[in-house]
Amino acid sequence: MSAAQLRIGVACFSTFGGSGVIASETGMSMARRGHRVAFFSDKPPARLDLSCPNISFHAVAALDYPVPAERSYALALAAEMIEVAQAERLDLLHVHYAVPHALGAYLARQVLGAVAPKVLITLHGTDVTRIGANPKFSSLTRFAVLAGDAITAPSRWLAEQAFCNLGLPRETSIEVIPNFVDTQRFRVVRREIASAERVLTHVSNFRPLKRVEDVVRIFARVRGEMPVKLHLVGDGPERPRVDGLVHSLGLAGAVKFFGEGADVAEVLQGSDVFLLPSETESFGLGALEAMACGVPVVASNVGGLPEVVLDGETGFLAPVGNPDEMAKQVRRLLTDENLHARMSRAARSRAETHFQLEPAVERYHAVYRRVVGTRASSSTR
């Protein structure tokens, strides 16, 4: 093993969502650079390619014993991290989403003592805005986050929220490394439009904060005036309510549910406008992936979304819970070909100039080296 090669552990969610995508893409890119990367999750995240050289996967299986009940994921994660850190002599644990991953890393470090890996925590969103903002969990989250060696966040907005919600000391360093997109895979594909029917698309994990019912309401308003279809990608707790609304509005024939198995790039490449009317969003990776495919975005003017979508340039932003305004913006885009073409080009160009994969991974790489460089010697252990 070369002295420059790092042994990295990555903990992330396997569920449909941006943090698993960023964790997978970053880890695979590190592996392509020659580092060894061990992933920890309950099952492999969808975008993790296990056939990549230098990648291993370690399933975190909850303790098979009835007393602590099923909610022992943090303990099982710590146990798995301890075992793999010892066997692989990990230099670094990069944990995505504070709770329970940073806690698992903290526990593992306590057990491993002097040979423990360094820890980088990437905050993602509701770990700060929901769990961190909950008075019962805020101290625990703060403790776990401060116990790491470095902290990153995907937007300036989320970094600021971390100070407020977790009560982090002002001198805490949080590096903002914006999320990124593989612009080779998420690219513009010129399509033949067989009919005049346009396509609106939404991608999410259908949690209440995504306001997927607003997606349907926006769609219903637009469809009242022009031929248009709705493509919904993903799944989650709100799916039955969304289904119910679609049926009660008589829209079933015009709405397609793709579930979680769809090729997101392919669906986006067949879209005219991307909708993201969320209540909160630290970044909105789906919006960025749409932009990379040249699809203008209509989204809520909240959280880190204005750092991604430029209002009036790469799409439109509107107040949360205002389907009327968002429907108006969609209609503008669908009725003004020049405006749509201009925003489509600007969206792609913004994705290319500000949110490319390699520069972002390079920044993570620099953090890895800085953090690991502070230990005695990773290569001589």
CA–CA distances in Å: residue 362 to residues 30, 121, 302, 356:
9, 17, 28, 10
Integer distance in angstroms from the first to the last C-alpha of the chain? Answer: 12
A 10 A CB-CB count for 79 gives 18
Phi, psi of 252 (to 5 degrees): -55, -35
**Residues between 127 and 146 with contacts to ligand GMT, criterion CB under 6 A:** 127
Q: What is the largest CA-CA distance in the chain?
A: 69
Shortest separation between residue 295's beta carbon and ligand GMT, angstroms? 16
- Please tell me whether residue 154 binds ligand GMT under the rule CB under 6 A: yes
Nearest Cα to Cα of residue 344 among 297, 301, 311, 299: 297
Shortest separation between residue 373's beta carbon and ligand GMT, angstroms? 26
Residue ranges with strand state E in 246-300: 255-259, 273-276, 297-300
From 122-130, 167-175, 182-190, 231-239, span contacting ligand GMT (CB under 6 A): 122-130
Shortest separation between residue 64's beta carbon and ligand GMT, angstroms? 27
Identified binder of ligand GMT from the candidate list 117, 234, 284, 323, rule CB under 6 A: 284
Q: 123 or 255: whose CB is closer to ligand GMT?
A: 123
Shortest separation between residue 63's beta carbon and ligand GMT, angstroms? 24
Q: 54 or 161: whose CB is closer to ligand GMT?
A: 161
Q: 249 or 262: whose CB is closer to ligand GMT?
A: 262
How far is Cα 291 from Cα 2, in angstroms, rounded to an integer? Answer: 39
Nearest Cα to Cα of residue 148 among 91, 109, 100: 109
- Please tell me whether residue 201 binds ligand GMT under the rule CB under 6 A: no
SS3 343: helix
Phi, psi of 304 (to 5 degrees): -90, 0
- Please tell me whether residue 152 binds ligand GMT under the rule CB under 6 A: no
How far is Cα 309 from Cα 333, in angstroms, rounded to an integer? Answer: 15
Nearest Cα to Cα of residue 380 among 48, 78, 89: 89
Sign of the alpha-carbon dihedral angle for 249, 253, 258, 263: negative
Sign of the alpha-carbon dihedral angle for 133, 137, 140, 145: negative
Identified binder of ligand GMT from the candidate list 125, 132, 234, 296, rule CB under 6 A: 125
**Residues between 14 and 43 with contacts to ligand GMT, criterion CB under 6 A:** 17-20, 22
From 28-36, 69-77, 120-128, 229-237, span contacting ligand GMT (CB under 6 A): 120-128
- Please tell me whether residue 81 binds ligand GMT under the rule CB under 6 A: no
Identified binder of ligand GMT from the candidate list 29, 280, 314, 344, rule CB under 6 A: 280
Shortest separation between residue 246's beta carbon and ligand GMT, angstroms? 23
From 27-35, 217-225, 277-285, 319-327, span contacting ligand GMT (CB under 6 A): 277-285
Q: 9 or 18: whose CB is closer to ligand GMT?
A: 18
Q: How many residues bind ligand GMT (CB under 6 A)?
A: 19
Identified binder of ligand GMT from the candidate list 14, 24, 26, 126, rule CB under 6 A: 126
Give residues in contact with ligand GMT (CB under 6 A).
13, 17-20, 22, 124-127, 154, 179, 209, 280-285
